[in-house]
Amino acid sequence: MLLKTFSLEIVNNHCMPGAMSVNGIARLNQDVGCALPYVNAVLGAIEYIKDPPTATFRTQGRLISVRSDQITVNAVQDREQAEKIIKWIRREINDAWQNRETITPRYKGVDRPQVVEILKHLPRTNCRECRQPTCMVFALRLAEGAKGSDDCPHLDGESKAALDEYLNGFDLDN
């Protein structure tokens, strides 16, 4: 087991003191930098920095950033939820490290669709029928994987097919 222990600190968001969520910061008692390329290969980081090793993951509307000596989780309700998420990522780190012989390490983040490319296929009417304020916001949500081309009621057959073909080149589930 690579990562055994950590100390958890809960902090309020200084930019938004009235926010309904807090951030969790786990200070790791063991260095996990060597495991991060393997964890990235398993979980598919949205961003990976090789030096110093840092992997950032998006899951359930929150960001989890893992460095050699620290794990941060944003937008948690309380200490209990932060601890649950930290323990989950600790299991992922330890499993990836234990199985590293069978995992090809990955030293870059998962490729994501470009908002500008998505916008080229949208009608750009800002009609709000997709429940987004603008087509730009809708394109951002598509790039994140939170929306699909079917959510735009004004996307015609040819444009929809071209957009779907473009989006199919990416793994939007990570």
Same domain, 96 and 120: no
Average pLDDT over residues 65-79: 94
> What's the mean pLDDT when you consider all of the chain?
89
Same domain, 95 and 10: yes
Same domain, 16 and 96: yes
pLDDT tens digits, 138-148: 998 888 777 88
Average pLDDT over residues 42-65: 89
Average pLDDT over residues 3-7: 96
Same domain, 63 and 142: no
Residue 17 clears pLDDT 70, i.e. is over it? no
The last residue of one of the domains, among 61, 79, 102, is 102
> For the chain, what percent of residues have pLDDT higher than 70?
94
pLDDT tens digits, 76-101: 999 999 999 999 999 999 999 999 99
Do 149 and 155 contact (CB within 8 A), yes or no?
Answer: yes
Residue 103 clears pLDDT 90, i.e. is over it? yes
Domain enclosing residue 126, as ranges: 115-167
**pLDDT score recorded for residue 111:** 76
Residue 173 clears pLDDT 60, i.e. is over it? no
**pLDDT score recorded for residue 135:** 92
Do 109 and 47 contact (CB within 8 A), yes or no?
Answer: yes
pLDDT tens digits, 106-116: 998 877 788 89
**pLDDT score recorded for residue 97:** 97
The last residue of one of the domains, among 102, 129, 144, is 102
The verdict on residue 173 lying in a domain is no
Same domain, 36 and 94: yes
Q: Provide the domain count of the chain.
A: 2
Residue 174 clears pLDDT 50, i.e. is over it? no
Residue 13 clears pLDDT 80, i.e. is over it? no
Same domain, 95 and 119: no
CATH code, domain with 95: 3.30.310.10
